[in-house]
Structure 1
Amino acid sequence: MQPKSIVLALSALCLPLSGVGAPAPAQAAEQNRSFHVDCAAADGGDGSRADPWNTLAPVNARTFRPGDSILLKRGSTCTAQQLHPKGSGTEGRPITIDAYGSGAKPKLAGAGQVTDVVRLADQEYWEIRNLDISNKGDAAATRRGVHITRSDSGTGTHYRLSGLDIHDVNGNRTKKDDDASAGIFFEVLGHTKATRFDDVVIENNTVRTVDRYGIHFWTRWMRRPELNNANCGTTCGPWTPQTRVVIRGNTVTDIGGDAVVPHHTEGAVVEHNRVDGFREREPAHCAAGLWGWNTDRALFQYNEVSGGKSECDGQGLDIDEANTGTVYQYNYSHDNEGGFILLCNGSGSTSADNVVRYNISQNDGGQLFDMVCARTSNTQIHNNTFYLSEPVDIVNNANGSTGADVAFSNNIFHVATPEAAYVNAGSLAFDSNVFHGHHPAGEPADANKLAADPGLTAPGTATSRTDTDGYRLRAGSPALANGKVMASPGTRDYFGNQVTAGCVPDRGAHQLSTSCTTPPAPVPAGKHENG
């Protein structure tokens, strides 16, 4: 007979485990699961790291649970396959697509055999990272790298795209807006239930050699009084903008049409992106670099944009139809054949209260400011610095804008080319600008004009957004502390120096003065300055 103490100990070992030790069934169901894919493996396995799947078919056949991970082996290539997993994550437990192992990012080479290489539809809480994605076929056709859609499914939230290399997508070069070709495309379809994307972060990706868009947003839920030209016919729903959209730190190059276009968004932030080369292969439509259509309060800042081709449109920036409260600040635009910025509202639409401040433009040509289509309202252009050495129309006012529509204040125009002109600029509002160098016919009147050398350190020598010190003002510059006081000047200049509301600013994109000069008090009505 065994001692009683031993019997009790053996009995305890047979009891169900709880607390410390193996998880209870409910806890086990919450554990994150990982599924592995190696398209170079000889045989298809069970999805474990030791025995991975060797095609994307098992991934596409599965509905994944919150917290799951789909991991593709570095150094492998999945050719002519689409990655279209099912399921959604939840708050705090997104579903992740990522790489495992060592070496180059796993390649998803659509080879023109799939329309979308990576596809999500009516799903949310997804994070997609560290993939090499291409989709080049024998001839151009509708193709995308990453295509995420929602259709009559309400709000989808939490999408993260990072570390993706998307390239060589020879899409349809002429199809714009919906069902367009792009490197990254967020698209809202349907017209029976208001639907939108929320909390989208696209950061630190490269998008190159793609037709037609680099990064593109579109929705059929666009109708509102500010937009008179909704182009989705009977399929349009009331304006339901995409919210909490951030496009940050991406490099977008060699794009057939538009580079980065967060259309139909509210409060989008587009910052620290590098765009070089757009409208490279667009035979039918105009295109620009960074801009939105039918947006509210879009913020474009700390971007570098260059290489826009042709004069249709070819500008680095664009305030377009139904843009309200757009701000372009701290951007470096250069060597765009079309110019610096397009101001192009749609007939019967409202584009109002937009601001372009503390930007630097070097060697932009074409129409530096191209005012076409219908007029915008209350567009404030202030404290920018322009160095012009290419043939250029500095202002092309082709839509009859007046001072109430577009006002230029505290800008520096350093005109280093004799091939410059102003076209119908006289009706616009100019106050406290610097016009230095060549003075072409049509140069606008400005009661507080400065024609002297503003004392820029080394204009024309910038090499990147962070190498623009040549546009700082020297001590003793005649442009110091004598600009127009702006009602909403922002908080800093291009270089990060403080700008204080209510103080007389320096002219141009550099605020060198650190002490506050207050404007003279207004003279009471009926009084003379000498009392």
Structure 2
Amino acid sequence: MKQKSERPLKRFLGLVALPLMALALPSSSALANIVSLNVASAATCNNTSVSSPFGIATEGTVVGNWNNTSSFGALNPTANLVNDQGVGTGISATILNAAGQAFWGASYIQTPWNYGIAHYVATPNPVEVTLDNLNTAFPTGYVAIVYVNGAAANPGAAITDGTTTYYFQTSNPQNTTPILITDTNSGDGYDVGNYAKFGSSGTPLTSDTITFTIPTGSVVANNAGIGGIQIVGVPFDLAPPDDLVASTYYVDPVSGSDLNSGTSAGSAWQTLGKVNNWNFGPGDQILLKAGATFMGKIVLSEDNGAAGNPIVVASYGAGAAPIIDASGYLAGVVIRDSEYIEVRDIEITGDGGAMVDGSPETNRYGVYAKNSSCGALNNIILDNLFIHDIYPNVGTASDGATATTHQGFGISMDGGDATLSQNIQISNCVIDTVGFKGIELKKLGNIEVIDNQLQDIGGPGIQVTTVSDLVVRGNSIDSSGSFVDSRMHGRGSGIWPYGSDRVLIEKNTVQNALGKADSCGIHIDSLNNDVVVQYNLSINNAGGFIEILGKNVNCAYRYNISINDGARVVGQPSNGPGTLNNVQPGQIIWTSGYNFAADEGPTNSYLYNNTIYVGTGITGNFNIHESTDGLLIANNIFYVVDPTADVTPAGLDDYTVAMADRVVWNNNLYQTTGIVPTFNLDLFGETGEVIGDPLFANTGGLTAADYIPSSTTFVEDQGIAIPLITGDTVGLLIGLEVATDYFGNPVIGLPDMGAIEIGGTPFPIPAAAFASNPAAVNANSVTMTSVEGPLNTEYYFVETSGNFGGDDSGWQSSPVYVDDGLLPNTTYSYTVTLRDVLDAAGAPSAAESVTTPVVTPFDSPVVLDEGFSSEPNPINTSLPWPEETWFLPATNDATKEVDNFSVFTFNGGLQTGYGYDETLIYWYSSLTWDLARDYRFTGDWEIKSVLANTLGLIVGIGEFDPSTGALIQRVKEVTTGELVTPVVGQTGSFNLSVTSTELATAGVSSSNRVGVFLQHDDEGTLGTQAAGSNDVYIVDNLRLTGTIDRDGDGIDDTDEPGLGLDPNNPDDGAEDLDGDSFSNHDEYLTGTGLNDPADFLSPALTASPTLADLLVPGSSVLNGRVYILEQSTTLGGWTAVDAVSGSDAPGLDILFQVVDPDATSFFRTRVEWE
């Protein structure tokens, strides 16, 4: 049995955390070195108790031998505090209250810690606890955990060890309520925790004396104090991190309980608060119940997965995505200083509500990820999230559609340093109706934002600041700058980067942006390097199409399509009545030196091969600032219906010859003359205009396909090779040439005008073939995969056998096809055909066949398969007991070891007690009894300790109540183990079966649950507690299965005796008792007599030239079967032409009809298990 590493404790959020193993403690505490001290003062606190685990207890770990104070004023103990093993350590404690006197006060009601509180007030003397002589007990260093408490309490109060300081953050109504603290007093939204940690396993404390102080002046009201202290030795004697076993934790807000283990759906936790008080490691999963709503937030702080083994937050069960309602909280999901995290398949909302977690009232997030100085955000994936209605409770002054914005963010990530925080993916998310930004990214590197849908975003859709190596691809953004809710910002472009390097924005659709300024589809804000905007569709964005601001270097717009961008008019309301007026006109092209300092640049801007359509009612504006330093505009199609204008502001258009010499405005196609306005001083302009109609497919349409040109005269091969701007030696880092156009067609030879090639030919599609041949998923579905073609290839899968249930795919973009609704034990054949972007199809592939499997109706379900690789201690001890988890019913005298936690996972198995007291251990499943089955319970045992008695271990199969989990009856049991000469390390196994006959005799109900129990006796009399001890057993590899066909002949064992068959003979199903040429199994399947040679399935057939009828008599129509009509013209190959489920109408006739059968048609009926 493999040693299982214990799980770590939850760290105080926001601090420099202990590594993964930092505070993992064995349940028995045998390997730990911990000194625990209760601190209390007022005698009125002596009757204080708590109703739920707190601090270390929340981790399922209990540390014994706390040093508990006695009555008020007594100094006992002052020296030689004991550790968790009850051994004196030589450590002494001195406690000083605010009046300057030493005291002790009892507050020990239950373990591991009860809150003590002194009425501390702001006096000249601080509140202090000093521990001396630490180095002898902790020669290799230690970590200190300090619990704080108080009343009405003291935001701003602090606790310190002289080096590190933590701050009290929230008020509490009772003296005994723990105060929540953070590592910052700035109110920045850091999450609060209920204890502070000083030191870490990587950097332990080593001082022989340590003093914890609540400084004078920090207590602004009475009641702020220290409730308890634990000193934990470093290093911990535990298995190495590689031996950690990942766990899956389930959360169910209705049926769960925070006292559960959380490691199965039946023992789910209940609240997100429980999640937030847990420490997660590589491979752990946090699964929220589908269809459920959770109030609050999930916080992952310094929780680190590993490469290939991330921490995953997702959902489980059938139904809609689980909802996190973060109303009143900072965010639905908070990630801080963590790496290798995946969050997927969750819905998040947060519409208003006063903050209850100490966060600022002015910001709210769907997902909030932040790196502090002590960590990094690395390898974070956010996938398939639905984030909507995100608004804080309080607005902030802003420059939007009104003077105030409620700053709600769909996703916000701040890496702190782009060289440290790397590898971020945001994909397949839907973000709808947020007050400010849809996706905000800061100080991150190596980022992908792909295939997301954003709708009605109050500010910008996707906005990034000081990031590097970013790809924004395949996103759809509709209505950035939205004002459908008066709390919205009402201003913002679909996508814009600021201060970033190496950004690729491609294949996005951005439309309907609004706002009094900016608010383009995509604009390049200030201080960027190497931003390329390509292959995007921009529609009806008020601010315009191209906006490049100051200090941008070597950026480009190319192969984009712009439709009706730039309709904004200065002086009109920006977002309808009551909103501020527009201050900028809409513009086709705007280059500006604006950069929050003196105007400069942009430098070396490349604008080529774009298709621009501006329809009726829109003035096509151009705005070229004098600071523009290098500009190329070439190979574009400008189709502008109404007059155009130069709107460059006076004072920003004092162009120079040097500036004009670095403008290349050449070889663009215009449908009419006069589109390019004359700029001040007339130093630059179009030098090689081409006037003509590009012959769009549907001029004025709103799709990219509407702007496919057909003019060979003005478009085909009429482009020029894009040169470097004079003085530029770089061009674009990814190259000025492109391989494909907007639709993925190859650019061959000279480029065409605009974004779409008509002169080239598509990339050739490969010969059609299967990359993965059709394969059965189950008896009713198959899957297959085609070889892949180039971008925009489509695939058509055809089922060629004609067998009933098989379907063609139709043209689809995916190379994978799943055909379902098929018949069992039936052969289907498929071909695949590929077609290119111009809808030219190739030849179909060769046909490949697959036969669906036969249904085996009498399988043996696995009820329990337990190796204890990740099972926590079975500490559930009260009704109702959760399903599919181990629990201790705590009945009769079997309670003592429950309290002492003697039943726990050990060496990869389950220890069933210490041996000195009686224990009962139960487990029941989510499955009810199938009274036609036999059940078998098997497992292994090992002797851990040999004690006075050799009573073995009782193992049994039980019937459990489905509501409470209570054991109704012990159906069958056996004593296993060594009952004569036990030896430590001795191993063995057990095998217990209960038959369907025994279930009937016991009166087991089919509505109750199947389960097992283990009972470890101590002195030889069950259900009593007396002196005595029994050998200690560990069990492992526990397996409970249900069987109904033990001999595997395809016939229900319970039916075989009545049919004259032997349920233990695997061969008699293939025999033929009555000699009618039908096997016993086939007659059992069709419902005919096994002993009557005249009784076999014989459908009645009537036929005419236009109609064939085949009747299956109702006496042969049974549940669990499917009846298949097959047709043949040669008797050599049969095709399934129809099928009916017997379960739909058992006992009723089935009438098959075939219209216009072939002149020579043969028919038969085939019966299969369904």
The TM-score bracket by the shorter chain reads 0.7 to 0.9
Please tell me whether the aligned partners of residues 174 and 285 of structure 1 are also in contact (alpha carbons under 8 angstroms).
no
Change (3 A) 1:455 1:38: same
Asked whether 1:39 is paired with 2:276, we answer no
Three-state SS of the structure 1 residue aligned to 2:706 is helix
Aligned match for 1:277, one of 468, 479, 504: 479
Three-state SS of the structure 2 residue aligned to 1:125 is strand
Question: What is residue 313 of structure 2 aligned with on the other side?
Answer: 97
Displacement of 1:215 after TM fit?
0.4
Deviation string 1:464-521 (CA, Å, 9 cap, x unpaired) is: xxxx222122153322222221141222111111225xx4321111122239xxxxxx
Aligned match for 1:435, one of 670, 693, 702: 670
Deviation string 1:283-312 (CA, Å, 9 cap, x unpaired) is: 879531111101111000000001111341
Question: What is residue 317 of structure 1 aligned with on the other side?
Answer: 522
- Structure 1 counterpart of 2:692, which letter? A
Q: Tell me whether 81-90 or 119-128 shows the greater mean CA deviation.
A: 81-90
Asked whether 1:352 is paired with 2:553, we answer yes
* Alpha-carbon distance in 1 for matches of 2:716, 2:638: 15
Question: What is residue 606 of structure 2 aligned with on the other side?
Answer: 380
Displacement of 1:386 after TM fit?
0.6
Please tell me whether the aligned partners of residues 610 and 754 of structure 2 are also in contact (alpha carbons under 8 angstroms).
yes
Question: What is residue 252 of structure 1 aligned with on the other side?
Answer: 454
What are the residue-to-residue correspondences of 1:295-306 with 2, within 5 Å? Answer: 295-306=500-511
Asked whether 1:67 is paired with 2:283, we answer yes
Asked whether 1:332 is paired with 2:568, we answer no
Three-state SS of the structure 2 residue aligned to 1:469 is helix
Question: What is residue 124 of structure 1 aligned with on the other side?
Answer: 339
- Structure 2 counterpart of 1:274, which letter? S
Displacement of 1:138 after TM fit?
4.9
What are the residue-to-residue correspondences of 1:420-459 with 2, within 5 Å? Answer: 420-423=644-647, 428-437=663-672, 439=674, 442=677, 445-459=685-699
Three-state SS of the structure 1 residue aligned to 2:722 is coil
How many aligned residue pairs are there? 453
Asked whether 1:51 is paired with 2:267, we answer yes
Change (3 A) 1:99 1:68: same
Displacement of 1:381 after TM fit?
0.3
Deviation string 1:37-89 (CA, Å, 9 cap, x unpaired) is: 0112264432131121111111100001211000000011012x121134211
Change (3 A) 1:507 1:441: closer
* Alpha-carbon distance in 1 for matches of 2:256, 2:248: 21
What are the residue-to-residue correspondences of 1:68-217 with 2, within 5 Å? Answer: 68-79=284-295, 81-86=296-301, 87-111=303-327, 113-138=328-353, 141-153=362-374, 155-171=376-392, 172=395, 181-189=408-416, 196-217=420-441
Three-state SS of the structure 2 residue aligned to 1:308 is coil
Change (3 A) 1:42 1:202: closer
Three-state SS of the structure 2 residue aligned to 1:245 is strand
Three-state SS of the structure 2 residue aligned to 1:32 is coil
Q: Tell me whether 282-291 or 158-167 shows the greater mean CA deviation.
A: 282-291
- List gaps (5 residues or longer) in structure 2: 4-238, 355-360, 400-405, 567-585, 680-684, 724-735, 762-1170
Aligned match for 1:512, one of 735, 758, 761: 758
Q: Percent identity?
A: 29
Question: What is residue 587 of structure 2 aligned with on the other side?
Answer: 367
* C-alpha RMSD of matched pairs (Å): 2.8
* Alpha-carbon distance in 1 for matches of 2:617, 2:539: 14
Question: What is residue 777 of structure 2 aligned with on the other side?
Answer: none
Change (3 A) 1:507 1:264: same
* Alpha-carbon distance in 2 for matches of 1:63, 1:371: 51
Displacement of 1:367 after TM fit?
1.2
What are the residue-to-residue correspondences of 1:412-427 with 2, within 5 Å? Answer: 412-418=637-643, 420-423=644-647
* Alpha-carbon distance in 1 for matches of 2:349, 2:636: 43
- Structure 1 counterpart of 2:548, which letter? L
Question: What is residue 1029 of structure 2 aligned with on the other side?
Answer: none
Displacement of 1:158 after TM fit?
0.7
Deviation string 1:158-206 (CA, Å, 9 cap, x unpaired) is: 1000010000001456569xx96411011135xxx88632010000000
Deviation string 1:335-372 (CA, Å, 9 cap, x unpaired) is: 11111121111xxxx31111110000011122122233
* Alpha-carbon distance in 2 for matches of 1:499, 1:344: 30
* Alpha-carbon distance in 1 for matches of 2:267, 2:2: 31
* Alpha-carbon distance in 2 for matches of 1:108, 1:285: 26
- Structure 2 counterpart of 1:388, which letter? V
Change (3 A) 1:17 1:400: closer
Change (3 A) 1:173 1:449: farther
Please tell me whether the aligned partners of residues 188 and 195 of structure 1 are also in contact (alpha carbons under 8 angstroms).
no
Deviation string 1:136-172 (CA, Å, 9 cap, x unpaired) is: 0158831111001101135432100001000000145
Three-state SS of the structure 1 residue aligned to 2:250 is strand
* Alpha-carbon distance in 2 for matches of 1:122, 1:438: 58
Displacement of 1:394 after TM fit?
3.2
Structure possessing the higher radius of gyration over alpha carbons: 2
Please tell me whether the aligned partners of residues 267 and 296 of structure 1 are also in contact (alpha carbons under 8 angstroms).
yes
* Alpha-carbon distance in 1 for matches of 2:242, 2:265: 20
TM-score by length of 1: 0.79
Please tell me whether the aligned partners of residues 392 and 421 of structure 1 are also in contact (alpha carbons under 8 angstroms).
no
Question: What is residue 469 of structure 1 aligned with on the other side?
Answer: 705
TM-score by length of 2: 0.37
* Alpha-carbon distance in 2 for matches of 1:160, 1:53: 24
Question: What is residue 992 of structure 2 aligned with on the other side?
Answer: none
Please tell me whether the aligned partners of residues 376 and 415 of structure 2 are also in contact (alpha carbons under 8 angstroms).
no
Displacement of 1:92 after TM fit?
1.6
Moved over 6 A (4+): 25-28, 282-285
Change (3 A) 1:286 1:43: closer
Question: What is residue 229 of structure 1 aligned with on the other side?
Answer: none
- Structure 1 counterpart of 2:528, which letter? N
Change (3 A) 1:454 1:42: closer
Please tell me whether the aligned partners of residues 435 and 488 of structure 2 are also in contact (alpha carbons under 8 angstroms).
no
Q: Tell me whether 451-460 or 161-170 shows the greater mean CA deviation.
A: 451-460
Asked whether 1:405 is paired with 2:630, we answer yes
Asked whether 1:481 is paired with 2:736, we answer no
Asked whether 1:494 is paired with 2:696, we answer no
* Alpha-carbon distance in 2 for matches of 1:144, 1:448: 51
* Alpha-carbon distance in 2 for matches of 1:443, 1:480: 28
Please tell me whether the aligned partners of residues 426 and 449 of structure 2 are also in contact (alpha carbons under 8 angstroms).
yes
Please tell me whether the aligned partners of residues 254 and 270 of structure 2 are also in contact (alpha carbons under 8 angstroms).
yes
Change (3 A) 1:269 1:441: closer
Q: Tell me whether 311-320 or 421-430 shows the greater mean CA deviation.
A: 421-430
Question: What is residue 523 of structure 1 aligned with on the other side?
Answer: none
Q: Tell me whether 66-75 or 488-497 shows the greater mean CA deviation.
A: 488-497
Displacement of 1:433 after TM fit?
0.5
- Structure 2 counterpart of 1:89, which letter? G
* Alpha-carbon distance in 1 for matches of 2:505, 2:616: 25
Change (3 A) 1:103 1:439: same
- List gaps (5 residues or longer) in structure 1: 1-15, 19-24, 220-241, 516-531
